[in-house]
Amino acid sequence: MKTLYRQFIQTSLLFLALSIVLGVILTNVYYVSFTKQETIDQNLERAQEVAVTLEQMHGDTAALEPFLSSVANLGYQIALLDSEQQFTTFGEPFEDLTLTDQAEQVMSDQQIYTGENAGLSFFMTSHFSSRLDNTVGVPFQVDDQQYALFLRQDMNLLSSDIHTLLLAFLLSIAVVNLAGMFLMAKQLTRPISLLQQATREVANDNYSHTLTISRPDEIGDLANSFNEMIGRLRQNDESRKTFITNVSHDLQSPLMNIKGYAELLSAKAAAGSDEQEYAEVIESEAKRLSGLAKQLLLLSSLDQPVYQLKEETYALDQQIRKAIRHYRWRLDEKELDVSLKLMKTDVYADRELMNYVWDNLISNAIKYSPATSSIRVHLSNEDGISVVIEDNGTGISAADLPHIKERFYRADQSRSEEGTGLGLAIVQEIVKLHKGKVEFESIDGEGTRVKVHLPTYKEE
Amino acid sequence: MRILVVDDELHIRQLIAIQLQQAGYEAVLAKDAQEALLYLEDEEVSAAIVDVMMPGMTGFELTEILSQELDIPVILVTAKGQLEDKEEGFLAGSEDYLVKPFEPKELLFRLNAILRRYGKSQRNKIQLANVVLDRTTYDVTINDETLIIPMKEFDILAVLANSSGQTIPRSVILRDVWGDEEGKHEFSLNTHITRLRERLNQYGAKVEIQTVRGIGYRLEVTG
């Protein structure tokens, strides 16, 4: 992924490079169009002064060289051309002493030379190179001898200090700039990654997460609105849960009373009497209604277009063990035994929903097992997670088997058995939400084997 | 034994009370946490059955006080039957929970289970060959397999395993398991022993229940 941070740094570096290039070009243009001419004029003035002084010394050729070398010591590079076309140089030696046509005219036509105009170089540095074509030239005569004096300021002497200073200046600007940008980029991207993390938490239905970003800028505003949003979502979620809890409490309590008192009636009625039968019908219907209410509430939330699984990592073997222990009283009632072979397995799933799955499958197995038989539960984590629940119960007939996972389908068409026909549909729905699958194998009269496959998730 | 029932609904309180009385317990009723705590100031109870949803102090808060401060085992009653509630209940220290609507048999089973578990100091685990009996969870472990067998069968096996190698008279088993002094459960004992033998055999336990003719039974390590 191309991170925002990296993009920011890249852009900053690009701009730094661009500004350097642009700066160099601009200073070049400025130098070439203004400063250069001034320098040339200044140098020409100096050269003419030197030439005049030399001419006034009248014929003393011996004094020529010491004078020129002391001038050179003041910070000039000097080349003296005598009538025999010989160069004598003073000060720093020239890199290139080629005499161009224009420069030769100083000697031949006694003209003033102001550097090479032909092949105009726009680049500043060429004007700093110590070449002959970078000088000004004046003619003069001493003792009737014709000379040409070429002169330029010694840039080495002049520039080395300034260059170092300039370079240091530029470098420090670049370093401070870059450091500032890195810091700025961090400052900008840190709250953004915090926001991203918070968004992920909310997507997982975790509304307890709050952002601790307090900034006076737009990002601070964003963080504040985000916190407000989390707060509202939390309230919604809470009121939804409270609603479900209230509805189930207010439905289940009266049903519990109906069922309980009907039971008391049937216990008092004479065995086999009509009264006992009627009371039993009331009791079993109340029980069915209560199961239906619970399952419909669960289905109504599962049927939301995007059901948010509250996934977490937990020990699956513990959960199954607990679910079975909770049915101990039913196991005891039917004198069943259950053997558990549960490998230690962690699963990444919605704990509450998965609990429903085990609860339902185990209660089914108990319901359809004949007294004193066995139920086997195996959990293995080789090749994905698989949970097998096997009973020696009544089994499911081949005709019913394809339909048992349909809503409201009941194998017993007379509907005299307890049940709502929703249990397995919900199990199927939940396992599908976890990207797993449920398989049923059954032989009528011999037992049923339910296998739940779950993929081994890695927590992101 | 006196059991405290706390529920804000009169009919449910009454229903639970009747079910408890029919099973031979004495039931004390309270309509909310306050009334329950007031009663407990001068009286003692063996266990409490507490509804989760009550006005005022909730069942969870009451459970916390009962189990942690007063050392009374609590069974929580909830309507929702979803884990969120249950977990909170266990955190509050309840021993077990019941989901509405429950059957009287379920209530009595759970009440029995917590009463026998509570305040009983026994050797918790008995190991014999490849068989481990856990007296807190009533689980039998054979090799790496956990076996849940009916409570009565577990009790019989525990009595035999506790003094393995010794012959235990039938009368002792009847007394320890059923509290039966008159031999009313003789026949039950026979069928339970038969089933227990089958189950142990089925799961490869390396112990055997031997019959000592005319006296009782003895648990022996085999192979």
Nearest-angstrom CA–CA distance, A50 and A61: 14
What mean pLDDT is predicted for residues A256-267? 90
Using a CB–CB cutoff of 8 Å, tell me whether A418 touches chain B. no
B14 & B107 share domain:
yes
What confidence score (pLDDT) does residue B17 get? Answer: 94
Closest Cα of chain A to B101: distance in Å? 5
A95-99, A187-191, A416-420, range with the lowest pLDDT: A416-420
Confidence of residue A338 (pLDDT cuts 50, 70, 90): very high
The answer to whether the CB atoms of B15 and A261 lie below 8 A apart is yes
**Same-domain pairing of B7 and B70:** yes
What is the 3-state secondary structure of chain B?
CEEEEECCCHHHHHHHHHHHHHCCCEEEEECCHHHHHHHHCCCCCCEEEEECCCCCCCHHHHHHHHHHHCCCCEEEEECCCCHHHHHHHHHCCCCEEEECCCCHHHHHHHHHHHHHHCCCCCCCEEEECCEEEECCCCEEEECCEEEECCHHHHHHHHHHHHCCCCEEEHHHHHHHHHCCCCCCCHHHHHHHHHHHHHHHHHCCCCEEEEEECCCEEEEEECC
Fold of A204-308: Helix Hairpins (1.10.287)
Residues B58 and B156 in one domain: no
CA pseudo-torsion sign B211, B212, B218, B223: negative
Q: In what order do the strands lie in the sheet with B74-78?
A: B26-30, B2-6, B47-51, B74-78, B96-99
Q: Which of A244, A259, A351 is facing B83, going by the closest CB pair?
A: A351
Q: What pLDDT was estimated at residue B16?
A: 93
Q: How far apart are the first and last CA of chain A?
A: 16
> A337-342 and B145-148 as β-strands: parallel, antiparallel, unpaired?
antiparallel
CA distance A81 to B71: 119
Q: Which residues pair with A332 in a beta bridge?
A: none
- Give the whole-angstrom CA distance, residue A347 versus residue A459: 10
pLDDT at res. A119: 45
Residues of A in contact with B84 (CB under 8 A): 241, 352
Give the relative orientation of helices B151-162 and B186-202 as an angle to the nearest 10 degrees.
80
pLDDT of residue B123: 62
B199 touches chain A (CB under 8 A): yes
d(CA B106, CA A263): 14
**B140: CB partners within 8 A, 6+ apart:** B131, B132, B133, B134, B146, B147, B148, B149, B154, B157
For residue A287, give the nearest of B101, B152, B199 by CB distance: B101
With contacts defined as CB-CB under 8 Å, which chain B residues touch A257? 9, 11-12, 15
d(CA B42, nearest CA chain A) in Å? 31
Domain boundaries, position B188: 125-221
Q: Which residue does chain B place closest to A245, by CA atoms?
A: B80
- The answer on B148 and B102 residing in a single domain is no
A310-460 belongs to which CATH class? alpha beta
**Fold held by A4-160:** Beta-Lactamase (3.30.450)
| CA distances from residue A314 to A2, A126, A346, A380, B137 in whole angstroms, order as listed | 34, 75, 5, 15, 21
Domain boundary among B70, B91, B117: B117
User: What is the distance between the alpha carbons of residues A104 and A150, in angstroms, rounded to a whole number?
Assistant: 11
CATH number (domain holding residue B159): 1.10.10.10
| Same domain as B86, residue B7 | yes
- B101: Cβ–Cβ under 8 A, 6 or more apart, which residues? A252, A255, A256, A259, A260, A286, A287, A290
How far apart, in whole angstroms, are the C-alpha atoms of residue A316 and residue A380? 10
User: Domain boundary residue among B117, B144, B176?
Assistant: B117
- If you ran DSSP here, which 8-state letter would residue A425 be given? H
CB contact under 8 A, B101 and A255: yes
Give the separation between CA B136 and CA B126, rounded to whole angstroms: 11
SS (H, E, C) A112-150: CECCCCCCCCCCHHHHCCCEHHHCEEEEEEECCEEEEEE
Return the CATH number at B99. Answer: 3.40.50.2300
Domain borders along chain A are: 4-160, 204-308, 310-460
pLDDT of residue A149: 86
Q: How many angstroms separate the CA atoms of B105 and A328, rounded? A: 12
Assess whether B110 and B147 both reside in one domain.
Answer: no
Among the candidates B89, B117, B145, a domain finishes at B117
Summarised one tens digit per residue, pLDDT across range A380-406 is: 988 889 999 999 988 887 778 878 877
Contacting residues of A for B53, CB less than 8 Å apart:
245, 249
Interface mutation vs chain A, best among B8, B109, B148, most A CBs within 10 Å: B148
Distance CA A160, CA A180 (A): 30
Please report the pLDDT score of residue B212 as a whole number: 92
Residue pair B79/B89 in contact (Cβ under 8 Å)? The answer is: no
Does the structure show a pLDDT above 60 at A325? yes
Query: For A18, which DSSP code?
Result: H
Angle at B162 between CA B161 and CA B168, to 5 degrees: 75
pLDDT for the residue A10: 85
Provide, as residue numbers in chain A, all residues whose Cβ is less than 8 Å from the Cβ of B79: 245, 248-249, 251-253
Quick one: pLDDT at residue A118? 45
B85 touches chain A (CB under 8 A): yes
- Predicted confidence at residue A121, as pLDDT, reads 54
CA distances, A57 to each of A52, A61, A258 (Å): 9, 9, 138
A253 to chain B, any CB pair closer than 8 A? The answer is yes
Q: For residue A225, give every residue at least 6 positions away whose Cβ sits within 8 Å of its Cβ, in sequence order, or none.
A: none
Tell if the CB–CB gap between A248 and B80 is shorter than 8 Å: yes
Shared domain check, B129 and B93: no
Per-residue pLDDT of chain B (223 residues; tens, 9 = 90+): 899 999 998 999 999 999 999 989 999 999 999 999 999 999 899 999 999 888 888 888 898 899 888 889 999 888 765 545 556 656 666 778 888 888 888 899 889 888 877 755 556 788 888 999 988 888 899 988 899 999 889 999 999 998 888 999 999 999 988 887 787 888 889 999 999 999 999 888 999 999 999 899 999 998 6
What's the CA gap between A286 and A292, in Å, rounded? 10
- Tens of pLDDT, residues A137-191: 888 888 778 888 888 887 766 666 777 888 888 889 888 988 888 888 888 888 8
Tell me the pLDDT of chain A averaged across its residues.
Answer: 83
What's the gap between Cα A241 and its chain centre?
33
pLDDT at A59 over 70: no
Partner-chain contact A331 B148, CB within 8 Å: yes
- Count of domains for chain B: 2
ipTM above 0.85, yes or no: no
**B177 lies in the same domain as B196:** yes
Q: How many CA atoms lie within 13 A of A220 on its CB side?
A: 4
Residue partners of A250: CB distance under 8 A and separation at least 6 = none
- Kind of pairing, strands A136-142 and A145-153? antiparallel
Note whether B134 and B203 are same-domain residues: yes
Structure tokens at B86: 């249950």
Percent share of chain A, pLDDT over 70:
91
pLDDT of A32: 77
Q: Looking at residue B18, what is its pLDDT?
A: 93
